[in-house]
Copies of this chain bind each other. A is one copy, B any other.
Amino acid sequence: VIDELVALLGERAVSTSESVLDQHANDPSHHPPHAPDVVVYPESTAEVARVLSWANERGVPVVPFGAGTSLEGHVIPTHGGISLDLSRMDRVLDVRAADLQAVVQPGVLRSALNAAAGGHGLWFPVDPGADASLGGMAATNAGGTTTVRYGGMRTNTLALEVVLADGTVLRTGSRTVKTSAGFDLRGLFVGSEGTLGVITELTLRLWGIPEHAVAARAAFPSLEAACRTAAAIVGAGIAATRIELLDAFTVRAVNAYKGTTYDEAPTLFLEFGGSEVGVAGDVEAAAELARWEGCEEFQYERETEARARLWEARHHVLFALVHGSPGKLHKSTDVCVPISELAAAVAHARDSADAAGLASSIIAHAGDGNYHVLFMLDPDDREELEAADRLNAEIVEWALARGGTCTGEHGIGLGKLGYLEREHGDLVPYLREVKRVFDPNGILNPGKTVPLDTANTVRLS
């Protein structure tokens, strides 16, 4: 089998070395690792098509792999087979500054796209934290800190080239900002988590870098007050670029890790961007709403360096938590609720975690109503692991009962399959049928995103 792949793509493109297999066996999540049988590194759409067509004929599972930073087990080859590593397809093919667009290969990291766009005064704002690959970000419909203003990957992906399981290459979407030409297959492939096709080229929206930006930090007497302030800012139509919530536990971990001296209270990290007068107006309006909720100090950071420090602190939350809990596993919830429910949702999560005696951190993309409870768990403490699972389930149920969703941005992968049935059980049979249209043999990332049924079980390699 390996010989056939080498014959298809050449020696350089195929690896079965132990360390390479290990690198492709897991993601940063708590899901148990499982190694692929082989890792294949295509360098072109034609090579992707050749591998898929070969695998499709043989019923060999194929799991697309970008930067490996997703959090629900998407890239873990639970059925073995091929891990299709797209990191060598890493060219920014075009920056069309006048159209506010870039065309990239799937292995381009978002830092690389931003480096290419920056020279034109443009940026690609979607920011899931990790320096993820853009193909992976589209495949998981990634969001993050800037979604409140710029939308997530579905909003920012204009067109996709996709290779189907049988090697057919499709081009969906358009270079235009609007199109009504047929069903939106582009939007269907965004968020399909490698189960419908392999993304081989993306046309993405770019945005002008705001001429002026201000970051701010606002500490509150309670989590609820911070959440209500976030909701009020969104409701007032203030164009905040970021509205991030950290609970006191998290701020404490950040201070310990980064040496900062932020107030150890529930805190909003905010950013505003636009013209100087526009931003000044936005900041003043947001500060007023914060004061109304008991914020005593609205701390501005106007200098580029101070702003960078603030957002670095936010981005390093996970490292800070891991650092504070050596040897522990981390696990994150990802529910999203209508913003009017956020204060109650976060309070419920905090109280439930406290009642269960679980150390946990709460962070939220508060402007979106999307929050994460991060548990630091002892991998040998079965009771603690089970308590975290129960708590996750309780948090999801609470959210679903109030119009929420089990995943705001991490996706279904392996970890949310049961919750997908709970949230959209009526849709599951149709999701299966849609998958069958594009991947009739079920070779693409089997067992992820869409719960398997018996008729859809793949042959294992």
A223 at the interface (CB under 8 A from B): no
A266 at the interface (CB under 8 A from B): no
Which stretch, A39-47, A346-354, A428-436, touches the partner chain B?
A: A428-436
Which of A176, A210, A237, A409 neighbours the largest number of chain B CB atoms within 10 Å of its CB?
A176
Residue of B nearest to A336 (CB): B176
Does A368 lie within 8 Å of B336, measured CB to CB? no
A424 at the interface (CB under 8 A from B): yes
List residues of chain B with CB within 8 A of the CB of A282.
275
A180 at the interface (CB under 8 A from B): yes
- CB contact list, A135-182 vs B, under 8 A: 140-141, 143, 147, 151-152, 154-155, 168-172, 174-182
A192 at the interface (CB under 8 A from B): yes
Residue of B nearest to A400 (CB): B174
List residues of chain B with CB within 8 A of the CB of A99.
338-340
Does A431 lie within 8 Å of B98, measured CB to CB? no
Interface residues on A, range: 35 or more
Instruction: Tell me how far the C-beta of A177 lies from the nearest C-beta in chain B, rounded to whole angstroms.
Output: 5
Which of A143, A169, A185 neighbours the largest number of chain B CB atoms within 10 Å of its CB?
A185
List residues of chain B with CB within 8 A of the CB of A155.
151, 155
Residue-wise interface mask of A (404-418) relative to B, using a CB-CB cutoff of 8 A (1 in contact, 0 not): 111111111000100
Does A141 lie within 8 Å of B430, measured CB to CB? no
Residue of B nearest to A158 (CB): B338
Known: A178-B405, A182-B450. 4 other contacts (CB 8 A): A100-B339, A168-B426, A172-B424, A430-B437
A101 at the interface (CB under 8 A from B): yes
Residue-wise interface mask of A (266-289) relative to B, using a CB-CB cutoff of 8 A (1 in contact, 0 not): 000000001101101110010000
A403 at the interface (CB under 8 A from B): yes
Residue of B nearest to A185 (CB): B427
A423 at the interface (CB under 8 A from B): yes
20 contacts between A and B (CB under 8 A): A147-B178, A152-B178, A171-B426, A172-B424, A174-B336, A174-B404, A174-B405, A178-B408, A179-B407, A179-B408, A180-B411, A181-B416, A181-B424, A183-B192, A183-B431, A183-B449, A185-B434, A187-B187, A208-B237, A275-B281
List residues of chain B with CB within 8 A of the CB of A174.
336, 403-405
